[in-house]
Amino acid sequence: MLLKGLFDKIASLGGLLVLWPVLLICAILIRLKMPGGPIIFKQQRVGQYGKLFTMYKFRSMTVVHDGSYISVAGESRITPLGAKLRKYKLDELPELWNVLIGNMSFVGPRPDVPGYADKLEGEDRDVLKLKPGITGPASLKYRNEEELLAVQDDPKRYNDEVIFPDKVRINLEYLNTWSFWRDIKIIIYTVLSKDLD
């Protein structure tokens, strides 16, 4: 895991240096198209060993809404610009800062909002040994999660009873079979939007 941590530091710094024009353009577009709110969306998420940290993303929703923490494609709270940012995962670019400062890794389980970690029991809690990631095997499988939830009669129930347990299973397998080269493969497959073998 030492190699993983070293890679995270170097790659996140390199990513921020190379992608700063994209970050700037996204920030300008959010300011112009979505005025009246912050450019960066900040939220408390559950990190490694269950410790809370602040995750940074580009804002993709209206400032005032009464939606849940489950995002569904086509929701009115997601702005037209926000939908494009989310489609191409540009809203997640600020998470490179989280990786640089050590709250997150490039590859790992997506960080949940507080409450979901409390549902983990037994060996399922081992997933908290991992730093949350920008991408991961579960993220690849459910990269169209918002579209999948949009066709469910009860998106929250489907997430809680089907998607969340499956993600825990996938993340436990990732923990138990981790290798640096598999991390690289996951990153490449994420960029190419391919399913993991």
Mean pLDDT of 153-181: 95
Is 197 inside a domain boundary? Answer: no
When pLDDT is cut at 50, 70 and 90, the band that residue 66 belongs to is low
CA 64 to chain CA centroid, nearest Å = 22
Mean pLDDT of 147-165: 92
pTM for the whole structure: 0.92
Is 56 inside a domain boundary? Answer: yes
Is residue 177 predicted with pLDDT exceeding 70? Answer: yes
Mean pLDDT of 8-22: 97
Which two tokens mark 32? 């112009």
Domain of 118 in residue numbering reads as: 2-192
Position 69 scores a pLDDT of 63
Is 13 inside a domain boundary? Answer: yes
Number of domains in the chain: 1
Is 154 inside a domain boundary? Answer: yes
Q: Contact 42/63 with Cβ under 8 angstroms?
A: no
Which two tokens mark 86? 């989310």
SS3 state at 68:
coil
